[in-house]
Amino acid sequence: MHGLMQDRPLSLPMLMDGLENRFSRKHVTTTQLNGTVSASYGDVAERIRRLAGVLDRLDVPAGARVGTFGWNSQRHLELYMAVPCTGRVLHTLNHRLFTEDLAYIVDDAADDVLFVDRSLLDVVRPLLDTCPSVRHVIVMDDGSPAQPPSDPRVHDYEFLLAAARPVERFRIDDERTAAALCYTSGTTGRPKGVLYDHRSIVLHAMTLLMADTFAIGENDTVMPIVPMFHVNAWGLPYAALMSGANLVMPGPVTAPERLVRSMETHKVTFAAAVATVWRGMLPHVEGADLSALRRAVSGGGGLPVSLSRAFHDKTGLPLTSSWGMTETSPLVCSARIPSEQAPSLTEDDRITALADPGPPTVLCSLRLVAEDGSLAPHDGRHRGELQVAGPTVAAAYFGSRADASAFTEDGWLRTGDVATIDPRGVVRIVDRIKDLIKSGGEWISSVELENEIMAMPDVLEAAVIAVPDEKWGERPLACVVPVPESGLTAESVRRHLSGRVAKWWIPERVVLLDRLPKTASGKFAKAALRRSMTGAKS
Amino acid sequence: MHGLMQDRPLSLPMLMDGLENRFSRKHVTTTQLNGTVSASYGDVAERIRRLAGVLDRLDVPAGARVGTFGWNSQRHLELYMAVPCTGRVLHTLNHRLFTEDLAYIVDDAADDVLFVDRSLLDVVRPLLDTCPSVRHVIVMDDGSPAQPPSDPRVHDYEFLLAAARPVERFRIDDERTAAALCYTSGTTGRPKGVLYDHRSIVLHAMTLLMADTFAIGENDTVMPIVPMFHVNAWGLPYAALMSGANLVMPGPVTAPERLVRSMETHKVTFAAAVATVWRGMLPHVEGADLSALRRAVSGGGGLPVSLSRAFHDKTGLPLTSSWGMTETSPLVCSARIPSEQAPSLTEDDRITALADPGPPTVLCSLRLVAEDGSLAPHDGRHRGELQVAGPTVAAAYFGSRADASAFTEDGWLRTGDVATIDPRGVVRIVDRIKDLIKSGGEWISSVELENEIMAMPDVLEAAVIAVPDEKWGERPLACVVPVPESGLTAESVRRHLSGRVAKWWIPERVVLLDRLPKTASGKFAKAALRRSMTGAKS
C-alpha cells in the first residue's frame, strides 16, 4: 500500500521560494580583483531566472553539460542554480589541472558550453581548439584585465544576462534527474566523473543544516574557502541558499592574509577549507578579530592536531575535521564529541578529538571490511577498508570509460581508506590503503607518522611514503619541509619520534626539502614524491 | 539524463543502524504506574526485531493496519519501528475519543490487530464486539491492575516477544510505502485518516534535526509530552532515534506535577506539549531545577504570550510556538527570530515573537489565498487562507469515504487557517476560518481577543465564539474561566479589553464558566460551545 503524501520532488527549484520570499534580503558578497560586490538573494534569484533564459537562448539541450572555470563568486552561485534548475548539468572544472587533463575531462563530459572567469581565460584558451563539443564560451568579468580571445564563440556574461528573458517556472519532475558533475582529482589514474542528481544534492544540503553536522542556519555567514570546483564547495553554497545564510565568496583573491581579512570584515561565522589552506592562514589570524566565527571546518584530507591546536591558541576555536570524497557529495563524517565522552575531556582532549572525522551523517551507513573480506567490528581498534552507502553516495562513475572496481557487488562504495570506527560511530582514518607501509609483515600508518612530525614547531609540512626495502619489504621515508632557518635536522626528527611511535616505525631516512609536491586539490602528491625518491614508476 | 547516485530509499529501517551501532548505549526511560523503566537503544533494537517476529507470527499481512492504544512508552516506541519496518501500517488511536468515534475509526482503518496499554483496556473492550476486522488484541503491561478480558484473541506483549524469532533484515524498497496512519480529531465532521509514507516520515524527522527548527541532536534528552497518538508525537520519537537523543516517556503518569518532576529528574533538554498542558504544569515549575532544558515547544493550537511570559518568569526560558496539522506530519512552522530582527528586540519582544508559529521548514512551501482566490502578498499585513505544499504534506485522505475538498486542484493543502506571512517568512495565525467573526462586514479575530483576555492574571482560560446578531450579522461572545475566588467580573474583562483592541471588537457578552469544553486533543471545542451558548446546531 502506498502512502498518500504529496509527490513533490526533492529538487533544486525548491530553493527558489526561499531566495525570492523569506531570504530575499540576505546576501552574497564577492571579492573581485577590482573590489567587493554584494547582491541580495532577491536580486540573485532574478539573475538566476535570466541566466536560465541565456541557456535557452544558446540552445543548450536538456541534460547537456555546462562547464565552469570559476572562482567562488556570485556568478558561479547563479550557475549553481540556473544550470540544474533548467535540467542541464553543472560541470565544475578545476583550473589548476594540467591542460591535458582538462582537455580529457571536457572531452569526456562533452561540455556544450563553458563559463569562465576572466582571470582564468588562459586556462581555457588551449581547450578551444582541442575540444570540439564546446559551442560557446561565456566570460565572467572578475576584474582581471585579461583580454578575451577574438572568437565568435565567445560572449560576455552580463551582456547576455541583460538581453535575456527570465524563465518564470523551473520544473524538475523526477528528482533523480542529473544536476551536477564533478571529476575526482585522482592522484593516480584518469580523473573519474561523479554525476549527482537533484535528490542527492538536496538531501546532502539538508544534512549540513543539522545540529550535529554543520548546524548551518539563517543567522550564519558562510564562507566557502574550499573552491566551488572542489565537490560543489562541499555543498556549502546549496546549504546557505536552503537555510538563508549569507555567503561570503573570496573570488580570485586567495592570498591567506586576504582570506583572513575577509572573514574579519564580513563577520564570517562558518568557514571551510583544506588543512593546507588553514595552515597558510594561521600566521595572519593573530590579531584579527574572528569573534563572530563559530566553526572552522577542515576537510579534503587529514587535519593535523598540531595545526588545530595552533589555531585554537590564536582564536580560542579549534579547527574541526570532516571526511568525504567526490563520490560522497562529499560529506560523510563531521567531527563532534559524543555526549557520553564530553564531560570527561580537557580542552586539549577536545581539540584532539575534533581532529578526527567523527560520526557519519544520518543518511550514510558505514562498514569496515577487513583484508579477508570479513566485516571488522566497530570497537575503535579493528581496522578495515571504510565502505559507505546512502542516497548521497555514488553508485557508478560517469562516462563510457568508467571504472566499476570502486563499487562492491552489494552496492557499497570502496573508499580506499583504512579506518577504525568506535562504538559511538566516531571514524578515525588510519591511512589510504595505497599509502600504508607494510614493513616486516606489519602495517605502519604514514598518516600517524606525518601527524607526529608535523607537531614539531620547526616543521612546516611532512609526507611519509613507502620505499622498497630488501629486508623488510617496505620502509617509511619521511619528506620534511623545515621552517626556514630553524636548524631542523633529520636526526632531530628521528629523536622527536622516539617514544612517540613504536621503535620499528621510525624512518631510517628523513629527507629535508624546500617544498612538497601537491595535487590540484592541495593534497600531498605522494605518487609524485615516490617517483622522485625511488625512481620507481607509480 | 539520470544521476548515478545510489538508489537507497528514505525509509525507517535506516534508523536501525544508529540504534544498533553508534547509539546502542543511549536510552529510553518510561514512567509506568509501578515505577520507572529504562532500556538502551541496543536492547530496544533487539526488541523491535522480536516484535517484527511477533507480527509475522500473528500473520499480519503487508500493508495491514496495526492499531495502538498506548501512552508514551518504550513499547509504543518499539511499535513505531517494528510495524512500519516490516511493511505494515502503524495506526495510533486517541483513547480519549468517544467509543462511537473509535469504533468508526477502527472500522474505517480496518485494523487487523490492536496493541493496548493495560490501563486503557476499558476503552478497547467495547470495540471487540463491534469491530470485526480485529483478529488479535495484544496487552502491554503499564503497571495497571486492570484485568484483561477472557477472550482467545487477547495476548500478552512480553509473552509473545519472549517466544518470537527476531527478524534479521528489514527491507522497504519503495520509500512511498505506507508507514503510519493518523486520524484528525476534527472539531466538526467525521475523523479523516492521513496516511504517511516512509519518505515523508524520514524527511520530517530530518527537518526536526535542523539548527533552525528544533536542532535535536545526540546530546539532547527529548521528552514528548504530546501523546504518541497525536500526529506521531509531532515526529519527536523518530527524530530522537535518528539523532541518538535520549527519550523520556511519561507513560500513563500525566499529572502536571509528575511531568515537571520527570523533566527535572531526567535532565530533559527538549520538551513539547500543547499550550493547555504547559498551562497546567506552570504552577509546578516554580522551584523545580529545569536548568538542563534548552527548548520548550508549544504546538497543536495558539500559544498565548501571557503563558509564555509566565513560563519565562519562572524558568528563564520562553515557550516557543510551532504550527502544523495532522495533514502536515505535522511540523510546518517553528518559532524563531530572523537574524535581521534579533539585535533590536528586548527580552519581552523575543517572548512575544516566539509565540508566533514562525517561518516554515525547508521542505514546506506556503501561500496565502485571499477570499477572491488571488494570492495575498507576504507583507505581514495581508491576510489569506494559509495553504501548504511539500513532500511532508498530505495529497488526499485515506479511505473510501474520504473528502477531497481540503486539497486544491493544483495540489496544495487548504489549512482552514487565516494567516499573515511577513517578508522574512514568519507566519502569524489570525484565526480558523470558521472561528472568524464577521461583524458589520468586518472581521474580528477570536484568537486575538482570547490572547488579550488570557493575559489577565485572574483568567485561567478563555474562548471567544461568534453568536448571531440581528444588526451586525455576528458579534463575539467571550467564555471565560476565572481563577477560583479571584473575583473576576464580566465588566473587568471588558474594561481590560478597552484600549487593547478596537472598540467595536469588545464583546457585549462575557460569560463566566467553571470550565471550557475541550476536544480529545486538548483544543477548545468551539463547536460545542457555540451549541450550548446559542442553541444552534453546528
What's the order of all strands across the beta sheet hosting B193-197? Answer: B154-156, B136-140, B113-117, B65-69, B89-92, B178-183, B193-197
The DSSP string of B486-513 is S---HHHHHHHHBTTB-GGGS-SEEEE-
Residue B183 forms part of a structural domain: yes
Peptide linkage before B391 cis (omega within 30 of 0): no
Q: Say what the pTM is.
A: 0.91
Largest CA distance in chain A: 73
Instruction: Give me the CATH number covering residue B34.
Output: 3.40.50.12780
Among candidate residues A145, A178, A198, the one where a domain is terminated: A198
CB-closest option in A176, A196, A339 to B218: A339
Task: Give me the residues paired with residue B138 across strands.
Answer: B115, B155
| Residues A411 and A444 both lie in one domain | no
Q: Show the DSSP H helices in A209-333 as ranges.
A: 236-243, 256-265, 275-285, 305-315
* pLDDT value at residue A537: 42
User: Cell for A108?
Assistant: 569526456
CB within 8 Å of chain B, chain A residues 7-46: 7-10, 14, 17-18, 21-25
Q: Using CA atoms, how far apart are residues B364 and B389, in angstroms rounded to an integer?
A: 6
State whether residue A196 is helix, strand or coil.
strand
**Residue B398 at interface with chain A, using a CB cutoff of 8 Å:** yes
For chain A, list residues with pLDDT below 50: 536-538
What's the pLDDT at B538?
35
Element housing B256 (H / E): helix B256-265
Nearest CA in chain A to B197: A3
Asked whether residue B17 falls in the same domain as residue B96, the answer is: yes
Q: What's residue B308's pLDDT?
A: 97
Going by their DSSP bridges, the two strands B27-32 and B442-444 should be labelled as unpaired
Q: Do B3 and A218 touch (CB under 8 A)?
A: no
Q: How far is B22 from chain A (nearest CA, A)?
A: 4
Beta carbons within 8 Å of B485's beta carbon, 6+ residues apart? none
Structure confidence by residue, pLDDT tens digits, B212-247: 999 999 999 999 999 999 999 999 999 999 999 999
| pLDDT band for position B302 (cuts 50, 70, 90) | confident
Query: H-type helices in B86-182, by residue range?
Result: 99-109, 121-124, 127-130, 157-163
Judged by a CB distance cut-off of 8 A, whether residue B345 touches chain A is no
Domain end marker among A404, A433, A462: A433
Count of helix runs (H) and strand runs (E) in chain B: 17, 24
A152 in contact with B at a CB cutoff of 8 Å? no
Please indicate, yes or no, whether residues B75 and B173 belong to a single structural domain of this protein: yes
Q: What is the C-alpha separation between A142 and A252, in angstroms, rounded?
A: 8
**Nearest to A126, CA basis, from A116, A189, A141:** A116
For residue B38, give the nearest of B73, B70, B72 by alpha carbon: B73
DSSP A166: P
Q: Are A178 and B2 in contact (CB < 8 Å)?
A: yes
Close Cβ partners of B207 (under 8 Å, ≥ 6 residues apart): A206, B213, B331, B361, B362, B363, B392
Q: If you measure CA to CA, which chain A residue comes closest to B178?
A: A3
Measured CA to CA, the distance from residue B351 to residue B363 in angstroms comes to: 26
**A327 labelled catalytic:** yes
The CATH number linked to B483 is: 3.30.300.30
Tell me whether residue A231 is exposed, middle or buried, using C-beta atoms within 10 angstroms of its C-beta: 0 to 12, 13 to 18, 19 or more.
buried
C-alpha cell at A168: 518564470
pLDDT of residue B536: 47
Omega cis (within 30) before B330: yes
Query: pLDDT per residue over B473-491, tens digit each?
Result: 889 999 999 999 999 999 9
Q: Please name the member of B198, B391, B397 whose beta carbon is closest to the beta carbon of A8.
A: B391
Q: Do B209 and A362 touch (CB under 8 A)?
A: yes
Tell me: pLDDT of B208 over 70. Answer: yes
Report the distance separating Cα B490 and Cα B435, nearest Å: 22
Strand order in the sheet with B384-389: B365-369, B384-389, B413-421, B427-432
Helices B446-454 + B305-315 axis angle, to 10: 40
CB contact under 8 A, B25 and A340: yes
Could you tell me the three cell numbers for B63?
A: 500493508
Asked if residue A35 and residue A90 are part of one domain, the reply reads: yes
Q: Would you call A200 an interface residue with chain B, using a CB distance cutoff of 8 Å?
A: yes
Tally of CB atoms within 10 A around A255:
12
Tell me how close the Cα of A425 comes to any Cα of chain B, in angstroms: 5
Quick check: B22 and A216 CB within 8 A? no
Mean pLDDT, chain B, rounded, equals 93
Burial class (CB in 10 A: 0-12, 13-18, 19+), B270: buried
Q: Is residue A26 part of a domain?
A: yes
Return d(Cα B298, Cα B321) in angstroms, integer.
5
Which chain A residue's Cα is nearest to B365? Answer: A17
Q: Which DSSP letter does residue B186 get?
A: -
Identify whether residues B394 and B459 lie together within a single domain: no
Per residue in B339-348, pLDDT (tens digit) is 999 999 999 9
- B8, B177, B394 ranked by CB distance to A391: nearest: B8
Q: What angle do CA B528, B531, B533 make, to 5 degrees?
A: 105
B428 and B461 fall within a common domain: no
Collapsed DSSP state (helix, strand, coil) of residue B313: helix
How far CA B319 is from CA of A425, B289, B303, B421, in Å, comes to 34, 16, 8, 21
Closest CB to A6: pick one of B2, B211, B391: B391
Residue A155 is predicted with a pLDDT of: 97
Is residue A225 less than 8 Å (CB to CB) from chain B? no
Active-site amino acid positions of B: 184, 327, 438, 443
Q: What is the pLDDT, as a whole number, of residue B170? A: 98
Q: Which residue of B has its CA nearest to A16?
A: B365
> Which B positions 108-147 lie with beta carbon below 8 A of chain A?
none
- Do B380 and B484 fall within a single domain? no
* The dihedral sign for the CA sequence B146, B151, B157, B163: positive
Domain termination residue (choose one: B204, B234, B267): B204
Residue A528 lies in a domain: yes
Cβ–Cβ gap A425/B342 under 8 Å: no
Q: Has residue A254 been placed in a domain?
A: no
Chain B residues in contact with A176 (beta carbon < 8 A): 2-3, 5
* Chains A & B: contacts with CB separation below 8 Å: 214
The whole-number pLDDT of residue A440 equals 81
**Domain shared by A161 and A19, yes or no:** yes
- Cell readout for B454 is 488570557
Counting beta carbons within 10 angstroms of the beta carbon of residue A80, is it exposed (0 to 12), middle (13 to 18) or buried (19 or more)? Answer: buried
Q: Rounded CA gap, B235 and B270, in Å?
A: 13
Is A217 part of a structural domain of the chain?
no
Does residue B420 sit in the same domain as residue B485?
no
B94-108 pLDDT, tens per residue?
998 888 889 999 999
Residues 61-90 in A contacting B (C-alpha not used; CB under 8 Å):
62-63, 89
Residue B240 included in any domain? no
User: Nearest CA to A403 among A524, A106, A394?
Assistant: A394
The chain A residue lying nearest B62, using CA atoms, is: A1
* B37: containing domain: 7-204
Amino acid at B515: R
Q: Look at the block and give the residue holding cell 573570496.
A: A250
Q: Are residue B449 and residue B427 in the same domain, yes or no?
A: no
Mean pLDDT, chain A, integer: 93
- Neighbouring residues of A145: CB distance < 8 A, sequence distance ≥ 6: none
Interchain contact, A176 vs B215, CB within 8 Å:
no
Task: Clarify whether residues B61 and B176 are in a common domain.
Answer: yes
Sign of CA dihedral A134, A138, A141, A142: negative
Q: Is the pLDDT of residue B269 over 60?
A: yes
Could you tell me if A408 and A374 are in contact, meaning their C-beta atoms sit under 8 angstroms apart?
A: no
Q: Specify whether B41 is located in the same domain as B145.
A: yes
Among B49, B61, B39, which Cα is nearest to B165's? B49
> What's the structural domain count of chain A?
3
Range with the lowest mean pLDDT among A196-200, B50-54, B495-499? B495-499
Q: Dihedral of CA A46/A47/A52/A57: which sign?
A: positive
Query: What's the pLDDT tens digit per position in B356-377?
Result: 999 999 999 999 999 899 999 9
Is A22's CB within 8 Å of B359's CB? Answer: yes
The strands making up A154-156's β-sheet, listed across from edge to edge, are: A154-156, A136-140, A113-117, A65-69, A89-92, A178-183, A193-197
**Chain-chain contact of B206 with A206 (C-beta, under 8 angstroms):** yes
- Give the pLDDT confidence of A342-400 residue by residue, as tens digits: 999 999 999 999 999 999 999 999 999 998 999 999 999 999 999 999 999 999 999 76
Residue of B nearest to A220 (CA): B339
Segment B193-217 shows an average pLDDT of 98
Confidence (pLDDT) at B433? 82
CB contact under 8 A, A389 and B8: yes
Among B63, B200, B425, the residue with its CB nearest the CB of A5 is B200
CA distances from A302 to A331, A361, A457 (A): 14, 18, 18
Report yes or no: A185 and A193 within 8 Å, Cβ to Cβ: no
Q: Are strands A319-324 and A295-299 parallel, antiparallel or unpaired?
A: parallel
- What percentage of chain B carries pLDDT values higher than 90? 80
**Contact across the interface for A25 and B89, Cβ inside 8 Å:** no
Radius of gyration of chain A (CA): 23
Name beta bridge partners: A319.
A296
Instruction: Name the residue with higher pLDDT: A427 or B504.
Output: A427
Please give the Cα distance from A176 to B7 (Å, whole number): 9
* Radius of gyration for the alpha carbons in chain B, expressed in angstroms and rounded: 23
d(CA B29, CA B268): 11
Contacts of A196 (CB under 8 A, 6+ apart): A178, A179, A180, A181, A182, A232, A329, B3, B5
User: Is there a domain that residue B298 lies in?
Assistant: no
**Closest by alpha carbon to A365, among B465, B15, B452, B536?**
B15
A336–B393 C-beta distance less than 8 A: no
Q: Which of A36, A130, A352, A443 is catalytic?
A: A443
In one-letter notation, the amino acid at residue A244 is: G
CB B345 within 8 A of CB B337: yes
Q: Name chain A contacts of B215, Cβ cutoff 8 Å.
A: 211, 215
Q: What is the pLDDT of residue B188?
A: 55
**How far is C-alpha A23 from the chain's CA centre?**
26
ipTM value of the model? 0.91
CA atoms lying within 13 Å on the CB side of residue A196: 34
Interface mutation vs chain B, best among A6, A83, A91, A172, most B CBs within 10 Å: A6
pLDDT tens track for B442-452:
888 888 899 89
Instruction: Give dist(CA B167, CA B469) in Å, integer.
Output: 64
Determine the longest span between alpha carbons in chain B, in angstroms: 73
